[in-house]
Amino acid sequence: MRTIILWAAAAYLIGSFPTGYVITKLFHRDENGKRDYLDIRSIGSGAIGATNVGRAMGFGWARFTAIVDMLKGAFALLLAVHLVPAEEQNLIMSVAALAVVIGHNYPVWLGFKGGKGIATTYGTLFFIWPYNSFAVVLLCGALWYVIMKTTRYVSVASMLSLCAMPVGFAMLSAPKEFIIISAILAALCVFRHRTNIVRLIHGNENRLK
């Protein structure tokens, strides 16, 4: 139990690095080109993830934010792969996967108000079951792209692509821990998008331009 708690705490701290918040604080400029220490939480959806960074600073910074957020998840899982005994890996990696995404979504440094965990979930699940997870995550990434390009709704693409992941793992007969954790992360994604769901129902969700 102590080992599980320690890994959960370590993964949470890795995930809680507020990438989007730090980037906008350090690099956002006002209309005169001066650094203005923008708080990303004050614009758009108020989230600190790549989509909101894109609203403030453009696609390039959004992509950079997403990559760093993916790497947070990947780092937590790769640590577990290399440091945890093989007989304990499935459980510890699943715990770390959940904790790193919770860290991103609810970072202690920002009053537990963070992002929605999409990029971090992708980075986490990519390494949870090599090489099978590579195929599942890449296919779900392709699904995300198709849905996003078709609907122009990032929220819809994010929710549907993550909900497809446990299906993909189940079809490949993944360890039950990985199917369960991917389903939990998909449910967490839907929960984090609950305000987007309300806007979708009322027809006023923001489309990607």
Query: CA 55 → CA 29, 44, 46, 167, 198, distances in Å?
Result: 13, 7, 11, 32, 21
pLDDT of residue 208: 80
207 belongs to a structural domain = no
- Residue 131: asked if its preceding bond is cis (omega within 30°), the reply is yes
The verdict on residue 10 lying in a domain is: yes
Measured CA distances, 103 to 19, 53, 89 (Å) = 12, 18, 20
The domain in which residue 130 lies consists of: 2-202
Residue type, 169: F
Query: Using 50, 70 and 90 to split pLDDT, how confident is the model at 45?
Result: confident
State how far the Cα of 11 lies from the Cα of 95, in Å rounded to an integer: 9
**What one-letter code names the amino acid at 49?**
G
pLDDT tens by residue, 7-32: 999 999 999 999 999 999 999 998 88
Mean pLDDT of 159-173: 98
Q: Is residue 185 part of a domain?
A: yes
Tell me the pTM. 0.93
121 found inside a domain = yes
Domain count of the chain?
Answer: 1
Give residue 123's pLDDT.
Answer: 95
* Structural domain includes residue 183: yes
Q: For residues 130 and 145, which has the higher predicted lDDT (pLDDT)?
A: 145
The overall average pLDDT reported for the chain is 94
pLDDT value for 206:
86
Flag whether 188 is in a domain: yes
Residue 62 domain-assigned? yes
**pLDDT for the residue 1:** 81
The yes-or-no verdict on residue 209 having pLDDT over 80 is no
Provide, rounded to the nearest whole percent, the portion of the chain with pLDDT above 70. Answer: 100
> Any bridge partners for residue 29, and if so which?
35
The per-residue b/e assignment along 62-84, b for 16 or more CB within 10 angstroms, e otherwise, is bebbbebbbbbbbbbbebbeeeb
Instruction: Classify residue 186: in a domain, yes or no.
Output: yes
Residue 46, pLDDT score: 86
